[in-house]
Amino acid sequence: MLILNKKNSALIGILIFLFVQPIYAGPPFNTDDPQPVEFRHWEYYISSINTFQSRAWSGTSPHLEVNYGLVRNVQVHLLLPMNYNYSQQHGGNFGYANTEFGLKYRFIQETENTPQIGTFPIVEIPTVRNSDFSNGKAQIYIPVWVQKSWGKLTTYGGIGYWINPGTNNKNWIFSGWEIQYDISSIVTFGGELYYHSADTPDHKSVTAFNIGGMINASQKTHFIFSLGHSLTNESFFSSYVGVQWTI
């Protein structure tokens, strides 16, 4: 999550805080799954997340994500975002602020009759002093994720709690659910519905959706994408586009 604490621009603050969440989730969606990277394997992403309203834009351009299977059922996660925002009133900003670090742990394996279950704690660490994209305080996310597959059909989701220190901030909840289908060995398509509770006393909760998927150019190279829109309280479009390499 990239947090903008710009006192004179509540609109941009809402965009950055609520919707630009660099995929402490399961790319290209906000909702994540409990499945870690395989032991001694790597995942690399170069991606861009974007949120658009009539008078403001924000996102990452780009962000780099690295995941590694440290031990069986445990994944180490690092995300390095270059952030941007633009509004007609205040112009544009570009820069780096927070580093995202996480550890995904699957503690229940999937069987024919039961889902796999795991957790993926995330810490947003203030790394560079930049008031345009950070309030200088660490945030912590503690979720639980569940996943079940039946052949080509996979569904996953869960709920998490964000610890969100800072002036006029409040802790908040994210929950979401995704379903996807392997149309072929090359194309996977799916969608998610997610909910974000208010993160300050002045903001409202948001419900939104994304649809998207993956195109497998090879066994190691994958193009991932999604497009979405809000359903309640705020009016915005969102997008994710990126390339994933698996090793």
Give percent above pLDDT 70 in the chain. 90
**What pLDDT does 214 receive?**
98
How far is it, in rounded angstroms, from Cα 141 to Cα 196? 13
In percent, how much of the chain has pLDDT > 90?
A: 85
Q: What is the pLDDT of residue 25?
A: 65
Q: Please say if the pLDDT value at position 9 is more than 70.
A: no
CA distance 129 to 200: 22
Per-residue pLDDT tens digits for 178-230: 999 999 999 999 999 999 999 999 889 999 999 999 999 999 999 999 999 99
Q: Is the pLDDT of residue 11 over 70?
A: no
Using CA atoms, how far apart are residues 181 and 144, in angstroms rounded to an integer?
A: 22
Amino acid occupying residue 242? G
Q: By the 8 A CB rule, do 78 and 99 touch?
A: yes
pLDDT on residue 22: 40
Domains of the chain: 10-242 (2.40.160.40)
43-68 per-position pLDDT tens digit = 999 999 999 998 899 999 999 999 99
Query: Whole-model pTM?
Result: 0.89
